[in-house]
Chains A and B, each alone.
Chain A
């Protein structure tokens, strides 16, 4: 990989870890000022150290960590599946499987003028509804705003929901969506994966699809996962 070429030793900076290496909190990742801490790392004097238990990701001068566990922290642009938890006069409070609740305001939710004196907003989304939405904005104090102004955003009905560890979502999706496409093709189910670790499945073979998703979550760290899933899906159930 080209990323590994950056181990150049200019002006006394040394990289002490390899790409995809397992690190624990406090491990020294690099020395010198030529490298920069990205997500999951921090700088202490001359050193870059790990904050989390995870795998190293190096991009040019930036050193980051992919966490192996942890809660979902929303980031702008994420597509998430949320539960409508509460309603106010012109907004909804959405539970997004995170320590923070999100706010969906009427203007971002509905593409038309709504006269709230005449129409109750529960006709759009009611408490208990499940929606696929996009994170619009996250403030420094973690106030989250959602938007439905996205071609994929919609209210979800029927089907079933699964919750998986949020840090395992990239594994479930696979490279360029290869893993999730495999499950979709084999089971002919509609599947939506939220970045927050909530998965929605609808179709005739829901059971098989959710079994595949659960298997990926449990065995996300083992090799040959694609073959295992292919076998599982072929066998059917």
Chain B
């Protein structure tokens, strides 16, 4: 099956269209503490995919009937900016963003110590400024950094990356064309660099062998995301040593 506008080949030799080899990730870029009014904030970029996340709270949660007397409630919103893709996206919620908001919330719910802040709510916003595949992964990475920046107690950071299958070859971190014209797209999130998965979402058809191979590869990807996240937190607060003179 070929689609309109598809490039003739996505993999030439051992190189992909953007010059990466099969198991390379796009360059990652991160920053934390960029929104002053938010309790915590972060950006996370995978090449041309650009996610901005902000965390507000823990704060009193309304409506009151949704409060939990024993734990904090996470409220998550994933949203793509109208200008983030080639075709304008109609602003506001749609089926896709509602679903992704939910999976991001569930992934973060498993690491946040919600029982430390009973009766409150933590609001998490993940905005996609520019989309070029793996937006949910970038959004989740940014959201987990923003939570750490906000001083919310967490078991671990959540790290996420995508793997996929293009021209019967398994590749790491799909970009726009590979996602659109490839065979399989698999988004994975792990707790830190452990073998604990909090998000596995796939479309396309794979054999069990291929799937296991992709999961193995994704662990490597999440590992390098984890390294990057720790790096930025340390760098940002490097001067944060309260050296009492």
Which residues in A have some Cβ–Cβ distance to B below 8 Å? Answer: 20, 22, 24-26, 40, 42, 44, 49, 51-55, 66-71, 73, 99-101, 140-142, 167, 171, 175, 220-226
Could you give, for residues 82-112 of chain B, a 1 whenever the CB lies within 8 Å of some chain A CB and a 0 otherwise? 0000000000000000000000000000000
| Contact between A70 and B151, CB atoms less than 8 A apart | yes
Rounded to whole Å, the gap between the CB of A218 and the closest CB of chain B is 11
Partner of B149, one of A53, A99, A100, A167: A53
| Contact between B119 and A51, CB atoms less than 8 A apart | no
Q: Are A71 and B237 CB-contacts (below 8 A) given A51-B113, A100-B119?
A: no
Contact partners of A42 in chain B: CB under 8 A: 113, 155
Q: Are A69 and B119 CB-contacts (below 8 A) given A22-B237, A22-B241, A99-B60?
A: no
The residue on A at minimum CB distance from B152 is: A70
Chain A CB within 10 A, most for which of B59, B117, B156, B238: B156
| Contact between B242 and A220, CB atoms less than 8 A apart | yes
| Contact between B58 and A51, CB atoms less than 8 A apart | no
Contact partners of A73 in chain B: CB under 8 A: 117
Q: How far is B150's CA from A49's CA once the two chains are assembled, in angstroms?
A: 18
Partner of A71, one of B58, B156, B157, B243: B58
Rounded to whole Å, the gap between the CB of B110 and the closest CB of chain A is 13
Q: How far is B39's CA from A167's CA once the two chains are assembled, in angstroms?
A: 12
Q: How far is B239's CA from A96's CA once the two chains are assembled, in angstroms?
A: 30
| Contact between B120 and A22, CB atoms less than 8 A apart | no
Contact partners of B156 in chain A: CB under 8 A: 25-26, 49
| Contact between A221 and B69, CB atoms less than 8 A apart | no
The residue on B at minimum CB distance from A167 is: B151
| Contact between B59 and A99, CB atoms less than 8 A apart | yes
Contact partners of A24 in chain B: CB under 8 A: 148, 157, 230, 233-234
Partner of B154, one of A25, A66, A167: A25
Chain B CB within 10 A, most for which of A67, A69, A226: A69
Contact partners of B157 in chain A: CB under 8 A: 24-26
| Contact between A22 and B192, CB atoms less than 8 A apart | no
Q: How far is B191's CA from A44's CA once the two chains are assembled, in angstroms?
A: 14
Rounded to whole Å, the gap between the CB of B151 and the closest CB of chain A is 3
Contact partners of B40 in chain A: CB under 8 A: 69
| Contact between A71 and B151, CB atoms less than 8 A apart | yes
Number of B residues with CB within 8 Å of any CB on chain A: 36
Cross-chain pair count, CB within 8 angstroms: 101
Contact partners of A223 in chain B: CB under 8 A: 243, 245
Chain B residues 25-63 with CB under 8 Å of chain A are: 39-40, 57-60
Q: Are A226 and B245 CB-contacts (below 8 A) given A69-B149, A71-B58?
A: yes
Q: Are A99 and B57 CB-contacts (below 8 A) given A22-B240, A24-B234, A141-B118?
A: yes
Q: Are A67 and B234 CB-contacts (below 8 A) given A25-B157, A26-B192, A221-B241?
A: no
Rounded to whole Å, the gap between the CB of B83 and the closest CB of chain A is 31
What are 20 residue pairs bridging A and B, where the CB atoms are less than 8 Å apart in the complex? A20-B243, A22-B238, A24-B148, A24-B157, A44-B155, A52-B151, A52-B154, A53-B237, A68-B240, A69-B150, A71-B57, A71-B151, A99-B59, A100-B120, A142-B118, A171-B242, A221-B241, A221-B242, A222-B239, A223-B243
Known: A26-B154, A44-B155, A53-B149. 11 other contacts (CB 8 A): A25-B148, A26-B156, A42-B155, A55-B242, A70-B39, A70-B151, A71-B39, A71-B58, A99-B59, A99-B119, A140-B118
Contact partners of B169 in chain A: CB under 8 A: none
Q: How far is B153's CA from A52's CA once the two chains are assembled, in angstroms?
A: 5
| Contact between A175 and B244, CB atoms less than 8 A apart | yes
